[in-house]
Amino acid sequence: MKKTRTTIKKSIYKLILFITIFLFLLNVLTTVIVNIITKDYTELMENSIQLSQVTVNLQNSNHTINRIISTNDPDLWDALDNQLLDINRQLDHIRITLEFTSTGRIYFRNIQNMYDNYKFLINQYALVQHENNLVEYGIAQDIKTQFSYINNHCQLLTQEYLQHSSETYAQALATYNKYRSITFIALILFIILLIGFSVLFIRSMNRSLERLCYKAEELSKKNWTIEDIEENRYEELHTLAQAFNNMKHEIITYIDDVKDKAKLQIILKETQLSALQMQINPHFLFNTLNIISRIALFNNVPEIMALIDAISKILRYSLSHAKELVPLSQELDVLNAYIHIQETRFSDTIQFQVNMKEHDDIPVPPMILQPIVENAIEHGLKTKSENGQITITIYQDDQLVIQIADNGIGMQALSTEKKQTTGIGLNNVRQRLQLTFNQDNLLNIQSHQGEGTTVTIKIPLEGGV
């Protein structure tokens, strides 16, 4: 299953985004809690101020009514009316807020009732002023008494409200401390998780880099058998690992190519040495063969002349094309010359048959057919006294296929690898095919003792190195 990979940059960006979101949410939660507590505290302070203002206004109204009683100044009644209206508005404003407990509700209702009676007495005093001194005096005393009751209840209500405010604030503060502890614990857990993720992230990258360093060190020690670096979840490290694996395979391929070319050079040197060993004054040899051919011509012996021409063609071909590829047609001409020689030698015991279908005249390494035919004669058919048969079949499909089959005694496995009398041998042909076309299994041998041997050569249609 293919691993899902990401980049180190994306992982870091995700981590930064996650930290930012967490800190933002933590800050929002803390801000909301602080705002709630601040709002509650502000409401408590505002209500306390309003309650204190009611007491102050009551005292001011009492001071004004005392001045009215002592001075009988009619202009003070307007100021008193305004003060009473302010007290009405303040009581209506804090009515719901001050009914916070059963005791608070009792105090507030008593204050409300006493205040209504207080206003009633003031109105009564305004009606009897300057008419009956005795009644006026009694109402004035009642006003003072009523004010003292109202003022006393306002103080009690203020004390009750301050106690309630303290308890409410203490609860709000406890709630804040609770949420602050939860926030602190969440922050600690987040830091632990962040550290754990960072450790895993660094360990993962460090492990990948250690594997890469180890493989590189092993490669520097010429240990070409080390396994490839496995896939990594981080794109950058995966790309680095793939580049290292590709480099390792390229080095191994290069080394194999160098070894193959070295083998080819060895074979070429051996071939050149063999050719040099056979080149004992080739001009003298060709001149001698030419003299023999002329003598045969003068003596009217065409068979000898044909044999000498065939030998000359084989020698010239083997000496002229030691290093290069040659057209298949030239290789077949030399093979026909060799077959002519062997037909003369084994005219009564071995028959040769060449079957060729339509094929291209593609390049092939020189001297790859004659050694195989010679091997079939010397080790398969030489001991047969009659009915020897060598069939050469050539056809082309996706490759050029050449089959050389005999009905001889067959061969053992070891003999297929031996170098034969030509100095080239089956193994030499196999190696030259492999090195020329950089492919294995281009020469296959099928042999059964007592039934014969079939050697198959496959030539790629595209040229080799």
53-103 residue pLDDT tens: 778 888 888 888 888 877 877 778 888 888 888 888 877 777 656 555 677
Could you read off the pLDDT of 311-354 as tens digits, one per residue? 777 777 776 765 578 888 888 888 888 888 888 878 778 888 88
Q: What is the CATH number of domain 347-460?
A: 3.30.565.10
Could you read off the pLDDT of 25-67 as tens digits, one per residue? 877 877 877 777 777 777 777 777 777 777 888 888 888 888 8
pLDDT band of residue 391 (cuts 50, 70, 90) is very high
User: How much is the pTM?
Assistant: 0.42
In SS3 terms, the chain reads as CCCCCECHHHHHHHHHHHHHHHHHHHHHHHHHHHHHHHHHHHHHHHHHHHHHHHHHHHHHHHHHHHHHHHHCCCCHHHHHHHHHHHHHHHHHHHHHHHCCCHHHHHHHHHHHHHHHHHHHHHHHHHHHCCCCHHHHHHHHHHHHHHHHHHHHHHHHHHHHHHHHHHHHHHHHHHHHHHHHHHHHHHHHHHHHHHHHHHHHHHHHHHHHHHHHHHHHHHHHCCCCCCCCCCCCCEHHHHHHHHHHHHHHHHHHHHHHHHHHHHHHHHHHHHHHHHHHHHCCCHHHHHHHHHHHHHHHHHCCCHHHHHHHHHHHHHHHHHHHCCCCCEEHHHHHHHHHHHHHHHHHHCCCCEEEEEEECCCCCCEECCCCCHHHHHHHHHHHHCCCCCCEEEEEEEEECCEEEEEEEECCCCCCCHHHHCCCCCCCHHHHHHHHHHHHHCCCCCEEEEEECCCEEEEEEEEECCCCC
Residue 443 has pLDDT above 80, yes or no: yes
Q: What is the CATH number of domain 8-201?
A: 1.20.120.1730
Could you read off the pLDDT of 266-288 as tens digits, one per residue? 776 666 555 544 544 455 455 55
